[in-house]
Chains A and B, each alone.
Chain A
C-alpha cells in the first residue's frame, strides 16, 4: 500500500513540477511605465514603417528587373539583327577610311581614240583583293556597296557590279575601316601598291587619298536572295 501511495505522490510531484514550469514563464516583470511603453511602441512602429518601405523598394526593384529583362531580350535581338545587318552590308557606314579615284590618264589619250575608258572587271577584282588584303572592311565602288556575294563582270563590254554599270570616269571607290590608324596604314600601303602600275598600264590613274576620318559608304540596296540556306527546324533536326 505504501507503493501506491508513493506512486501517487510521484505523479502529484510530476504534475506540480509541470504546472510550476508552465506558470513560471515570465522571468522578469515588465516594469515600464506608460511613457516608456509609448516610446517602445513608437520604436516598433518606426521599425514597421522601415520594413514596409524596404518591402516596397524591393518590389519596385523586382518589377524594374522584370521589365528590364523583358526589354533586354528584345534589345538583344535588335542588337544581333543590327550586327548581322552591319556584317551583311545592309547599313550605311560612315567612319574613317580612304577614297580612291580612278581617272583616265589625259596625257595618254590619243587623238581620235574613244575617250571613255572602261575599267576592266579583272582590274577591279585585283584592286578589291588588294584592298581586302590590307584589311579594308567596307567597300563601295561608284556608290555601289560591295558585299560577299557581289559579282563584278563584263557584260557586253560593260563592266557591271551587281547589275550596276560603270560608265563614267573618274570612278570613286570608297573604303572604310574601323580606326583612323588603320585608315592611315591602308592609305600608305595603297600609295605604294602595285595596283597603281597595273592601272597605269591600262591608261588609268589610281589616286589614293589620305586617311579621311569621315568616309560615308552607302548600304547595299538590292535584296539579298538566299537560295541554298534554310533555317534549322525546331527541335534541332539535321
Chain B
C-alpha cells in the first residue's frame, strides 16, 4: 500500500536532483499534465481500495489523460480560449472526489467503531 508513495518520493527526489528545466512556454502543458497524472494516480488508488483495480485501465488512463490534457491546452492556446481551464476544472473536481472516496474507505477500514464513521 505504501509503495506508491515511496515511488512518488523517489520521483520527486530524482526530479530535483537532475535539475531539468523546461522552457517557460511549456510549463503550462506540464502543469496540466501533472494535474492529469495526479488525477489518474488517485483514481488508481481509489480503484485499488475498492478492489476494482484494472492495470490496463490504469496505465492507459494515465497516458491518455496526460496527452488529452496537454493537447487540450495546446488547442486552447491556438484558439485563443483558455481551454486548459476546462481540463483543470475537470481534473480538479475528479481529484477531490477521488480523495474524498479514498478518505472514506480508509476511515471505514481503520475505524474501530463503525457507527462513528457511518455518521460522518
Chain B 31-63 interface residues, beta-carbon cutoff 8 Å to A = 31, 33-34, 37-38, 40-41, 44-45, 48, 53, 55, 58-59, 62
Chain B facing A: main interface SS: helix
- Tell me if A51 counts as interface (CB < 8 A to partner B): no
State whether B22 touches A18 (Cβ < 8 A): yes
State whether A1 touches B55 (Cβ < 8 A): yes
- Tell me if B14 counts as interface (CB < 8 A to partner A): yes
Which of A8, A12, A18, A20 counts the most chain B CB atoms within 10 A? A12
Q: How many angstroms between the C-alpha atoms of A127 and B35 in the bound complex?
A: 114
Chain A 78-95 interface residues, beta-carbon cutoff 8 Å to B = none
Q: How many angstroms between the C-alpha atoms of A143 and B48 in the bound complex?
A: 126
State whether A22 touches B55 (Cβ < 8 A): no
A2, A4, A12, A22: the one within 8 Å of B8 (CB): A12
Interface size class of A (residues with CB under 8 A): 20 to 34
Q: How many angstroms between the C-alpha atoms of A122 and B61 in the bound complex?
A: 124
- Tell me if A37 counts as interface (CB < 8 A to partner B): no
A4, A14, A22: the one within 8 Å of B11 (CB): A14
Contacts of B15 in A (CB 8 A): 13-18, 20-21
Which of B12, B21, B40, B45 counts the most chain A CB atoms within 10 A? B12
Interface size on B, residues (CB 8 A): 36
Q: How many angstroms between the C-alpha atoms of A12 and B33 in the bound complex?
A: 9
- Tell me if A19 counts as interface (CB < 8 A to partner B): yes
CB distance from A20 to the nearest CB of B (A): 8
Interface mask (A10-48 → B, CB under 8 Å = 1, otherwise 0):
111111111111110100000000000000000000000
Mind listing 22 A-B residue pairs with CB under 8 Å? A5-B41, A5-B44, A6-B7, A8-B37, A9-B41, A10-B14, A12-B37, A12-B38, A12-B41, A13-B9, A15-B15, A16-B12, A17-B11, A17-B13, A17-B14, A17-B15, A18-B15, A18-B20, A19-B31, A21-B16, A22-B21, A23-B31
**A-binding residues in B (CB < 8 A):** 3-16, 19-22, 24, 27, 30-31, 33-34, 37-38, 40-41, 44-45, 48, 53, 55, 58-59, 62
